[in-house]
Amino acid sequence: MIVTTILILSYLLGSIPSGLIAGKLTRGIDIREHGSGNLGATNTFRILGVKAGLVVTLADILKGTLATALPLLFYPELHPLIAGVAAVIGHMFPIFASFKGGKAVATSGGVLLCYNPVLFFVLVGVFMVCLYLSKYVSLSSMVAAVAAFIYSLITRDLPLIIVVTILATFVIYRHRANIGRIKNKTEPKVKWI
């Protein structure tokens, strides 16, 4: 029963639509009706600006971190990464936003922040270097996902390898339209870095 409760809570945490809330509070809009139509942090940056984008990014990271911490706090027999995956699924398919959510990047990062902080900060570095060089958030996200997979293999931590493989697959699959736009050179580039 407690495992089910933790997984449901983790999913619900992940389902909190940070970008939707930010859009409603700051501009009275649904950001899914603007820009890329995505609920995640990147579209929030584009539509609502840097401050709102940073807040949404932090909120999305913390969703993953808090969910991953639930087993550590209440039921150590449940592997924390399982709760983390539930939060990422909630972020991608949020019950509070008609099951249309983000692309799993920030919340996946939050899962890793709780479980392996060194990996998290390595990935932030990889993401920022790639973003500086390419100006593509989507490409930087996918490169970070691949880097996470490689890092997990080095650790030989089987649960981490399995979960990072799942999370990286989520991230890359949900960026498939971006891959096409990058190939066609129609993908928007960031201008602030």
In order along its 193 residues, the chain shows pLDDT tens digits of 999 999 999 999 999 999 999 999 999 998 988 888 888 888 998 899 889 999 999 999 999 999 999 999 999 999 999 999 999 999 999 999 999 899 999 999 999 999 999 999 999 999 999 999 999 999 999 999 999 999 999 999 999 999 999 999 999 999 999 999 999 999 988 887 7
**Inside any domain, residue 77:** yes
Overall number of domains in the chain: 1
Count of all residues that appear for the chain in the document: 193
How many secondary structure helices (H) and strands (E) does the chain include?
10, 0
CA max distance for the chain: 50
Pair of tokens at residue 155: 């650790």
DSSP 42-85: HHHHHHH-HHHHHHHHHHHHHHHHHHHHHHHHH-TTS-HHHHHH
Amino acid at 113: L
**Inside any domain, residue 114:** yes
Find the DSSP H helices in 93-116: 105-115
User: What pLDDT is stored for residue 40 in this prediction?
Assistant: 85
Going by C-alpha positions, the residue among 98, 59, 68 that lies closest to residue 7 is: 68
User: Other CB atoms closer than 10 Å to residue 191's CB: what's the count?
Assistant: 6
**Inside any domain, residue 64:** yes
Would you call 40 helix, strand, or coil by DSSP? coil
Range of the domain at 149: 2-183
**Inside any domain, residue 170:** yes
pTM value > 0.85: yes
**Inside any domain, residue 190:** no
**Inside any domain, residue 191:** no
**Inside any domain, residue 192:** no
Burial class of residue 192 (count of CB atoms within 10 Å of its CB; 0-12, 13-18, 19+): exposed
**Inside any domain, residue 193:** no
Would you call 190 helix, strand, or coil by DSSP? coil
